[in-house]
Amino acid sequence: MALKSWLEGRWVEGTGAPSPLVDPTTGAQVAEVRSGGADLGAALDHARRHGGPALRALTFAQRGAILDGLAALIHANREELIDVSRTSGGTTRGDAKFDIDGAAGTLSWYGHLGKKLGDRTFLLDGEAEGVLRSKRFVGQHVLVPRHGVAIHINAFNFPAWGMAEKAAVAWLAGVPVLSKPGTATCALSVRIAELWVESGLLPAGAFSLLTGSIGDLLDHVGPQDCVAFTGGSETGRVVRGHPAIVRHNVRVNIEADSLNASILGPDVEPGSDTFQMFLNDVTRDLIQKAGQKCTAVRRIFVAADRVEETVEALTDRMSRVVVGDPGEKGTEIGPVASPSQHRSVTAGIAELEKVAKVAWRAEAPGGGCFVTPTLFRADGADVPYVHEHEVFGPVATVLPWSGDADELVQLVSRGGGGLVCSVYSDDLAWAGPVVLGLAPWHGRILWGSAKVHDQSPGPGTVLPNLVHGGPGKAGGGEELGGQRGLSFYCQRTAIQADRGLLDRVLGKA
């Protein structure tokens, strides 16, 4: 099956040498993409001339209704999409549902936000403020949709959710989208795009999909465009430094590597609700999506005098994990998504074996893209490779620390900034300063305690109403966050005028 792009309102089959896509479970080819032949400058121009004006003419409520319709399409075709996810990404049924339901849920959430924002086409940012001593001459900040294209360069690990969560925010803001999915798993993105296009819910030019290589796409960006990238930090730096992006001061949001940490507080006793929450969250992060989540825990910090019992509890829990064919009932970990991902994770495991001991390792099938899920244990916390390199698979390392809160914050910060950190403790006096000390280094922190042990979806779940992103190595970006997310696709402008005239123009009178 040749996967096509949706550009300028038509399906376009690429030219040039094919790139084969394989079923990660069997290694058999399931599709191919060809990257040449598309006029990407014309594709962006089409979106600006047609999609932008059409979306800006709609109210938030109307845009939200479109998002609700797109979510319903995903839900109605859920079983078919789960099957596509399994054959193209090697996902278990549970992992496929996590991705697909996350896509539908985020679209629905932003659809509801559109209904709340109502019959407006732009947003007011705060209240009008007086200028100098005049009572009539005021200034009012407004947020209006930019007249460009939201260019979304997505990662391979969430071909449904990743595409939908970025698009939902841009469309609600009133900006057309060109989505570039990760090639290895793009069959699922393409199938969802086909459903959306066939529905006719989106205005012409509001949505474009580019399969294969990004080509010269960024050469054609302009000053009103926005670029949101998810992927490796090295590629993120290339995107941010692209000459056309620098020349036009194009807005760029980067989500990159993240050495997420899980911290077990020294007060937490084995068998307690908080300890069980910690075990559940760490195990889920190792299992879910075969560890291929940007929010998965990579470093597990445990007080030195509690390491033995904690590792024993973790290995006992994970010893029951089933690794195998994702199509078989009961399988919890399938293969990683592609041959290149298999090479990367295998190489990372080999490097970790040089600096840490294997505390637990599952047996994995041979062939395909299967790797060996592994929990490592370091003798000390000063292990540079663990703090500097993310192994993007079912792999994590337990690191001992002395129990000093300030030392802990310094150790965690060696990751250079992360998307999420989780702290498990019922000791307010200890946990409070730790959480606030870690805050400058993370986009999100989960504080697990006995009071919420049965209420949290875990640190690895990205929520549409809370910001997603992180400082430093994690990219320095910020996405989602409810209404906050719209601002990336809008221009904040201060309009200074007579209060009466301004109120009438802005619909306040």
Give the pLDDT of residue 509: 61
CATH fourth-level superfamily of 261-474: Aldehyde Dehydrogenase; Chain A, domain 2 (3.40.309.10)
Mean pLDDT score, 433-443: 95
Helices in 211-335 by DSSP H: which ranges?
Answer: 233-240, 243-248, 273-287, 307-318
The pTM of this model reads 0.93
Residue 508 pLDDT > 80: no
With a CB cutoff of 8 Å and minimum separation 6, the contacts of 429 are none
Which three-class secondary structure state does DSSP give residue 262?
strand
| Token code pair at residue 75 | 């839900």
Asked if 442 and 470 touch (Cβ cutoff 8 Å), the reply is yes
Tell me whether strands 129-130 and 418-424 are parallel, antiparallel or unpaired: unpaired
Integer Cα distance of 312 and 296 in angstroms: 21
Give the pLDDT of residue 507: 85
Mean pLDDT score, 284-293: 92
Give the pLDDT of residue 309: 93
Give the pLDDT of residue 35: 87
Give the pLDDT of residue 369: 93
Q: Please state, for a pLDDT cut of 70, what percent of the chain lies above it.
A: 100
Indicate the DSSP class of residue 124: E
Whether 255 is catalytic = yes
Q: What b/e sequence results for 454-491 when a residue is b if at least 16 CB atoms lie within 10 Å of its CB, and e otherwise? A: eebebbbbbbbeebbbbbbbbbbbbbbbebebbbbbbe
Residue 405 pLDDT > 90: no
Where do the structural domains in the chain lie, given as residue ranges?
37-256+478-505, 261-474
CATH topology for 37-256+478-505 is Aldehyde Dehydrogenase; Chain A, domain 1 (3.40.605)
Residue 260 pLDDT > 70: yes
For 220, list phi and psi in degrees, rounded to 5: -105, 10
Domains 37-256+478-505 and 261-474 share a fold: no
Q: What b/e sequence results for 396-427 when a residue is b if at least 16 CB atoms lie within 10 Å of its CB, and e otherwise? A: bbbbbbeeebeebbebbbbbbbbbbbbbbbbe
Distances (CA, A) of 86 to 285, 289, 382, 393: 19, 11, 39, 17
Confidence of residue 404 (pLDDT cuts 50, 70, 90): confident
Q: What is the mean pLDDT of the chain?
A: 94
* DSSP for 129-187, written as a single string: EE-TT-SSEEEEEEEEE-SS-EEEE--SS-TTHHHHHHHHHHHHHT--EEEE--GGGHH
Asked if 418 and 260 touch (Cβ cutoff 8 Å), the reply is yes
- Which member of 294, 369, 421, 490 is catalytic? 294
* DSSP for 476-495, written as a single string: S--EE-GGGGGGGGEEEEEE
- 188-209, pLDDT tens digit by residue? 999 999 999 999 999 999 999 9
Give the pLDDT of residue 87: 94
Asked if 242 and 388 touch (Cβ cutoff 8 Å), the reply is no
Distances (CA, A) of 204 to 207, 221, 280, 497: 8, 20, 45, 36
| Token code pair at residue 447 | 């504080």
- 209-237, pLDDT tens digit by residue? 999 999 999 999 999 999 999 998 889 99
Q: What is the CA radius of gyration of the chain?
A: 24
Integer Cα distance of 79 and 85 in angstroms: 10
Distances (CA, A) of 431 to 273, 300, 399: 16, 16, 18
Asked if 165 and 479 touch (Cβ cutoff 8 Å), the reply is yes
The burial class, CB within 10 Å (0-12 / 13-18 / 19+), for 39 is: middle
Residue 366 pLDDT > 90: no
- Which member of 8, 165, 226, 255 is catalytic? 255
Residue type, 115: K
- 43-73, pLDDT tens digit by residue? 999 999 999 999 999 999 999 999 999 999 9
Residue 240 pLDDT > 80: yes
Asked if 333 and 355 touch (Cβ cutoff 8 Å), the reply is no
